[in-house]
Amino acid sequence: MKRREFMALLGGTAVLWPLKARAQQPALPTIGFLGYWESPKPIEHSLVAFRQGLAAAGFVEGQNVTIEYRWGIFQFDRLKALAAELVRHPVAVIVAAGFGPPVVAAKEATSTIPIVFTYGADPVRAGFVASLNRPGGNVTGATAISEALLGKRLNLLRDLVPQATTLAFLSRPNLLEKNPLLAEARYLNRQLIILEIRTDRDYGAAPGRSTEESW
């Protein structure tokens, strides 16, 4: 091989090597976000917090992780199709956000990909997990309210303010199963007042309202 041809070949190798190296780099892990709404607009503040939480854990969207967003437009059949689409993508984890339907759709779509939910009621009663401390399966998440957690809160209040004999609980209408909570208060030998909050203004007026239901 002549010197000129050798240098040309070597130069060609130098050009092709970085391209080949880039092609072999693994793809970024992908998070599937399955939302119940028609667009991200109703939950913009929650999405900001979601990205901040990922960043705190070392995952920055567009740098070392990608996020595939899907919006169900309040239609369960659409959610099911979108969940199946995320599974085929495939994604490393599915975030099911917004009430129960996204969780149900994601559970129907996969039994192996981890599913993380945010749910305002009891995920055990809804059938999403086996129990709060041992969810089991591929589903876990955060819940804002459940009978088990409410009972623990009453126990915490008793420990923090042992001299208090009457406790008040504020709740949105039809959000709470009252009987287990009243039973827990009875067990702790405390009077419990449950006040229903229908508007934001009710929070300020709650301390002066009469008892709606108590033991």
Predicted confidence (pLDDT) at residue 154 exceeds the cutoff of 90: no
Average pLDDT over residues 6-32: 55
Residue position matching structure tokens 């130069």: 11
CB neighbour list of residue 31: distance below 8 Å, 6 or more residues apart: 54, 65, 66, 67, 68, 91, 92, 93, 94, 95
The three-class DSSP label of residue 99 is coil
pLDDT tens-digit readout, 175-209? 566 777 788 888 899 998 887 776 666 656 555 55
pLDDT of residue 45: 92
Average pLDDT over residues 54-63: 95
Q: Is 153 exposed, middle or buried (0-12, 13-18, 19+ CB in 10 A)?
A: middle
CB neighbour list of residue 34: distance below 8 Å, 6 or more residues apart: 70, 72, 79, 82, 83, 86, 94, 95, 96, 97, 102, 105, 106
Please check whether residue 108 is in contact with residue 80, taking contact to mean a CB–CB distance below 8 angstroms.
Answer: yes
pLDDT tens-digit readout, 63-103? 999 999 999 999 999 999 999 999 999 999 999 998 899 99
CB neighbour list of residue 136: distance below 8 Å, 6 or more residues apart: 129, 130
Q: Which has the closest alpha carbon to 153: 127, 120, 192?
A: 192
Residue position matching structure tokens 């199709």: 81
Which band of pLDDT confidence, cut at 50, 70 and 90, is reported for residue 174? low
Radius of gyration of the chain from its Cα atoms, rounded to whole angstroms: 26
pLDDT of residue 144: 73
pLDDT of residue 160: 92
pLDDT tens-digit readout, 123-142? 888 899 998 888 999 999 98
Share the mean pLDDT of the chain.
81
Q: What is the DSSP letter of 196?
A: E
| Cα–Cα dist 121/119, whole Å | 6
Q: Which has the closest alpha carbon to 150: 111, 202, 106, 188?
A: 188
